[in-house]
Amino acid sequence: MAAAMEGLLPELEVIRKDFPILERTLAGGHPLVYLDSANTSQKPQVVIDAMVDHLERHNANVARAMHQLGAESSGAFEAARDTVAAFLGAPSRDEVIFTKNASEALNLVANTLTWARGIDTGFTGTRGGWDRLGEGDEIVITEMEHHSNIVPWQLLTQRTGATLRWFGLTDDGRLDLDAIDDLITERTRVVSLTWVSNMLGTINPVQEIARRAHEVGAIVVLDASQAVPQMPVDVVESGADVLVFTGHKVTGPTGIGVLWGRRALLEQLPPFLGGGEMIETVRMEASTYAGIPHRFEAATPPIVEAVGLGVALDYLRDVGLEAIRRHEEAITAYALEGLSSLGGVRVLGPTTASERGGAVSFELDGVHPHDVAQVLDSRGVAVRAGHHCAKPAHARFGVQSSTRMSSYLYTTPEEIDAFIDALGFTREYFGRTA
Amino acid sequence: MTLPGQDLDALYQEIILDHYKHPQNAGLREPYEAEVHHVNPTCGDEVTLRVHLEGEGDDAVVADVSYDAEGCSISQAATSVLTELVLGRPLPEAVAVHARFVELMHGRGTVEPDEDVLGDAIAFAGVAKFPARVKCALLSWMAWKDATSRAGGGAAFEAAEAAGEEQA
Shortest distance, CA A218 to any CA of chain B (angstroms): 34
d(CA B110, CA A323) in angstroms, rounded, equals 51
What is the predicted pLDDT for the residue at A286?
Answer: 93
Mutating which of B73, B79, B129 best tests the A interface, going by the most A Cβ atoms within 10 A? B73
**CB A384, CB B150: distance < 8 Å:** no
Q: Does one domain contain both A104 and A185? A: yes
Q: Which of A295, A318, A341 is where one domain is finished?
A: A318
Q: Is residue B168 scored above 90 in pLDDT?
A: no
CB atoms A433 and B5 under 8 Å:
no
Please count the CA atoms within 13 angstroms of the CA of A108 that sit on its side-chain side: 31
The whole-model pTM stands at: 0.93
Q: What is the mean pLDDT of chain B?
A: 91
**Domains, chain B:** 9-167 (3.90.1010.10)
For residue B109, name the pLDDT band (cuts at 50, 70, 90): confident
Q: Does one domain contain both A341 and A308? A: no
- Nearest by CB: B11 against A374, A385, A391: A374
What is the predicted pLDDT for the residue at B125?
Answer: 93
What is the predicted pLDDT for the residue at A124?
Answer: 72
What is the predicted pLDDT for the residue at B1?
Answer: 33
Q: Does one domain contain both A393 and A336? A: yes
Domain of A414 in residue numbering reads as 2-43+321-430
**CB A264, CB A122: distance < 8 Å:** yes
Q: Does one domain contain both A314 and A366? A: no
CATH of the domain at A382: 3.90.1150.10
Residue B123 contacts A, CB cutoff 8 Å: no
Residue A220, beta-bridge partner list? A191
CB atoms B8 and A378 under 8 Å:
yes
Give chain B positions within 8 Å (CB) of A432.
17
- Nearest by CB: B2 against A29, A377, A432: A29
Q: Averaged over B68-80, what is the pLDDT?
A: 95
Tens of pLDDT, residue by residue over A28-67, are: 999 999 999 999 999 999 999 999 999 999 999 998 778 9
Give chain A positions within 8 Å (CB) of B73.
368, 370-371, 430
CA-nearest residue of chain A to B76? A368
CB atoms B3 and A371 under 8 Å:
no
CATH of the domain at A108: 3.40.640.10
Shortest distance, CA A401 to any CA of chain B (angstroms): 7
Q: Which of A263, A288, A318 is where one domain is finished?
A: A318
What is the predicted pLDDT for the residue at A431?
Answer: 82
CB atoms B5 and A378 under 8 Å:
yes
Give chain A positions within 8 Å (CB) of B5.
27-29, 378
What is the predicted pLDDT for the residue at B2?
Answer: 36
d(CA B117, CA A107) in angstroms, rounded, equals 50
Shortest distance, CA B56 to any CA of chain A (angstroms): 38
CA-nearest residue of chain B to A25? B3
For residue B57, name the pLDDT band (cuts at 50, 70, 90): confident
The reply to whether A389 belongs to the active site is yes
Q: How many structural domains does chain A have?
A: 2
**CB A186, CB A26: distance < 8 Å:** no
Secondary structure class of A281 (helix, strand, coil): strand
What is the predicted pLDDT for the residue at A393?
Answer: 95
Q: Which of A318, A334, A351 is where one domain is finished?
A: A318
Residue B167 contacts A, CB cutoff 8 Å: no
Q: Does one domain contain both A325 and A404? A: yes
CB atoms B72 and A29 under 8 Å:
no
Q: Does one domain contain both A277 and A171? A: yes
CB atoms B43 and A374 under 8 Å:
no
| Cβ neighbours for A171, distance < 8 A, ≥ 6 positions apart | none
For residue B165, name the pLDDT band (cuts at 50, 70, 90): confident
Average confidence (pLDDT) per 10 residues, chain A, 434 residues: 77 97 95 98 98 98 89 97 98 98 98 96 78 97 98 98 98 96 96 98 98 96 98 98 98 98 97 93 94 95 98 98 98 97 94 94 94 96 95 94 97 98 94 59
ipTM: 0.86
d(CA A191, CA A218) in angstroms, rounded, equals 7
CA-nearest residue of chain A to B14? A433
CA-nearest residue of chain A to B74? A371
Q: Does one domain contain both A186 and A293? A: yes
d(CA A267, CA A248) in angstroms, rounded, equals 28
d(CA A414, CA A3) in angstroms, rounded, equals 10
Q: Does one domain contain both A330 and A271? A: no
Q: Is residue B75 scored above 50 in pLDDT?
A: yes
Pick the catalytic residue: A176, A389, A421, A425? A389
